[in-house]
Amino acid sequence: MKNFIYSCLCMLTVILTVAETPSPAPVAKIIPQVDVIHGDQRVDNYSWLRGKTNSEVVAYLKAENSYADQVMKPTRSLQNKLYKEMVSRIKETDESVPYRKGDWFYYRRNQKGKQYPIFCRKFQNLEAKEQVILDLNKLARGLKFLSVGTLSLSDDGHLLAYSLDTTGFRQYTLYVKDLRTGKLKAESIEKTGSVAWAADNKTFFYTVEDSAKRQYRLYRHRLGDLSSDILIFEEKDEMFDVGVSRSRSHDYLFMGSTSKTSAEFRYIKADAPNSDWKVLLPREKDHEYDIDHHGDKFYIRSNKAGRNFQLVSIPEVNPTGASWTVVIPHRPAVMLSGVDFFESFYVAVEREHGLPKLRVVEFATDRSRAIEFPESAYDVAPAENSEWKTTAYRYTYESLVSPRSTYDYQLTTGQSTLLKRQEVPGGYVPTDYVSERLEAKAADGTSVPISIVYKKGLKQNGASPLLLQGYGSYGISEDVNFSTSRLSLLDRGLVIAIAHIRGGGELGKPWHDSGRMMNKKTTFTDFITVAEHLIAKKYTQRDRLAIMGGSAGGLLMGAVTNLRPDLFKGVVAVVPFMDVINTMLDETLPLTVSEFEEWGNPKKKEEYDYMKTYCPYTNITAQDYPAILVKTSFNDSQVMYWEPAKYTAKLRATKTDRNELLFKINMDAGHGGASGRYDHLKESAFVYAWILKTIATN
């Protein structure tokens, strides 16, 4: 009898073990495609995965999703716990600080249980009756995805032009709503980008995209006239995109044609929408500029005198060929990121020592005052500043430990007034956490900044799990911000670090230049330097170190993993740009041509040869890799889904280890993932659970 019971128990154990053992990982079939360029033959075994409408492709992607879910099944309770924690730390019913525009105060609010914000306004004072101008929750009914592209109000506040994307492919349809009646006008214009109203409250200008999703045409539209939109301008050069805007003074409309390294702006008076657009400064190679208006002058932020930009003014009347008056000279150590103009003052938005700064200058006295900030690592940015005649400047401030706060800086007193601080339900105490600014020395002697945050009481003995993040492309700064979701990792003992590597914009345009084109590999070696520095300083060790990056930061993940797979325990690559060569050879894809000035053009042999040395997909080799989670979306138009799909398939077929490789794809979203706030938190919970099980378990 005992032997029978023992046999039954053994059989039950075998059954349970089989049931809980994950099925084998999906294996993508091999269909070699041979391409030759510059005499170099390349074989791509997974090019067939580009067939978005191919049922075999869809079946493979779904199989990857099923496999990922199966492997992650033991973490479901953890995922649920993380999700509930994240939700518990957001104020589900909340509203933004109202801002004034004309006769109305505008704000947006969220309601508990609803995925999307509700845009509202009140007439003249905040005690007035609320008017809902756009409820995205109603618009999203029956949809799996919804995103707003633009919101543009006519001067009289009666009409709202807005655009929606319902797939995640960044393809926006423009609508016009009469806010007096709540009814939509007959307008419905597809594939739109930027929008700007003329002063007559009847005319607006809009841009549209071509087949490669480049904004290339500007049209003039008059309300109610659906058949005779006037083509104002078509940009023939595929390196340039077109955008339209309105000056804060409301006096001018601007149209910019911009590439990654050059610009050309045209202008008309906003009260003369039928007039001819005039070129302010013709485009020149390597001359980037933008313009604004104040009084009887145009103000130009230009890099003609140096990479970090200067501010100059020219007369409003007959500006072409007029001599420039330098307002803010070029400074090698200070990046002039932007300038906000108002009737009596302007605000220079700058970056110095890797940190954003705000400097307020009065026109009447030329007095300049910097707004002071208390922490060594933080992020500050302009907020809603719609009014021309004002003595207050609104900005937001946050850090890795300080919740996002909205302030008004008063020109009259030189003081900032707190209007709202992000509420963190559950009793968040900022002093329970520590934020530091570190530096790592690259091989060439360059200091690479690092921002780091952890729970107070950290023992710097190398035993802590650490998540290192990075981006390093397009001159975009990887700024430090506050995240309530991140607390779920910090409270479980993780250290979180951000590598401010070259290729980004933290230290101005030279920092960007030193990590793009033929310098791109500096981005990757900087990141490796940061990782090694954190290990040397005993914040972590190799088997407790995970890294994460998205989009161009996903390329970073692929490149450093190929270079130093021994350095990391886990890798999270989100919507990653992995197939650099094949994508940059395909000029029909979105972004390709305009980004030749960021990555290079592989049709040029020297640039192809360099690109080939770091392209993640190309450089997968038969070696051991860390555990890897790849995430993407089926409708991504910025990094097509097939890049991470091909990368996963090739890596799984090539690597020599048995470490986990998961590929998770959202079949109903785009580059940013799920559009609803609760759905987005569920995606974060999945990623966090994977990170925790990979580096935080002993």
Indicate which residues carry an active-site annotation.
551, 636, 671
Q: Which residues on adjacent β-strands are paired with residue 101?
A: 104
**3-state DSSP assignment of residue 690:** helix
Q: Which tokens hold the place of 389?
A: 């005649």
CA pair distance 676, 684, nearest whole angstrom: 12
CA pair distance 323, 506, nearest whole angstrom: 32
Q: Where are the beta strands (DSSP E) in 198-344?
A: 203-209, 215-222, 230-234, 241-246, 252-258, 263-269, 278-281, 289-294, 297-302, 310-315, 325-328, 334-341
Exposure string for 19-31, b = 16+ CB within 10 A, e = fewer? eeeeeebbebeee
CA pair distance 436, 455, nearest whole angstrom: 12
Strand order in the sheet with 252-258: 241-246, 252-258, 263-269, 278-281
CA pair distance 656, 660, nearest whole angstrom: 12
Maximum Cα interatomic distance, the chain, rounded to a whole number of Å: 105
Q: Which residues on adjacent β-strands are paired with residue 573?
A: 549, 630
Region of residue 279 (left: phi > 0; alpha: psi -120 to 50; beta: else): beta
User: 274, exposed or middle or buried, with CB in 10 Å at 0-12, 13-18, 19+?
Assistant: exposed
CA-atom Rg of the chain in angstroms? 27
Q: Which tokens hold the place of 328?
A: 């803010």
**3-state DSSP assignment of residue 69:** helix
Exposure string for 468-506, b = 16+ CB within 10 A, e = fewer? bbbbbbbbbbbbbbbbbbbbbbbeebbbbbbbbbbbbbb
Residues with Cβ within 8 Å of residue 697, at least 6 apart in sequence? none
Q: Which residue has the tokens 């001018």?
A: 252
**Count of CB atoms situated within 10 Å of the CB of 681:** 22
Distance (Å) of CA 229 to CA 55, 224, 506, 551: 40, 11, 42, 36
Report residue 442 CA to chain centroid gap: 26
CA pair distance 587, 161, nearest whole angstrom: 32
> Which DSSP symbol is given to 25?
P
Q: Which residues on adjacent β-strands are paired with residue 398?
A: 379
Q: Which residues on adjacent β-strands are paired with residue 234?
A: 217
